[in-house]
Amino acid sequence: MMTRGIRGATTVQTNSKTEIHKATADAMTHIIQKNNICPDDISHILITVTNDLDAAFPAEGLRSLEGFQYVPIMCAMEIPVPSSLKKCIRLMVTVNTTKRPADIHHIYLNEAVKLRPDLTLTNKQ
């Protein structure tokens, strides 16, 4: 068993609590499904948002998912690089797994697919 990181990112259209929660939960659901993991496999999750998203804590969106009540989740602000993607939510999910790094599926949804074109082979939606 090894500790591995699974990256995920998505974007929202508006800075609203409902949309931030839904998009975060949707990204996490894709990560769970594509990597065949469950909340008990997760050590912790770090979520960052761009500085144009302040209507809600994205972690609240994960609390609605079954089994996430005891998963440690922290939110932070992304570095505000002037030309960076706007309205973006990024996840770093740290899991215990037997998978090799090449077998991890990193998930990029909506406009966030532009962030890591080098990982397109891992984004098998």
108 has binding-site annotation: yes
4 a catalytic residue:
no
100 a catalytic residue:
no
19 a catalytic residue:
no
SS3 label, residue 17? helix
116 a catalytic residue:
yes
63 a catalytic residue:
yes
> Which among 4, 38, 66, 75 is annotated as catalytic?
75
> Which among 60, 78, 100, 111 is annotated as catalytic?
78
> Which among 4, 19, 88, 90 is annotated as catalytic?
90
Dihedral (C-alpha) 100, 35, 97, 75: value to the nearest 10 degrees? Answer: 110
Cα distance between residue 73 and residue 58, in whole Å: 9
> Which among 4, 19, 111, 116 is annotated as catalytic?
116
> Which among 4, 19, 88, 108 is annotated as catalytic?
108
Tokens of 115: 């962030």
4 has binding-site annotation: no
| Geometric angle at alpha carbon 29, from 63 and 80, rounded to 5° | 75
- Alpha helix locations (H) across 49-96? 58-62
Binding site feature residues = 7, 90, 108
Give the active site residues: 7, 63, 75, 78, 90, 108, 116
Binding site feature residues for prephenate = 7, 90, 108
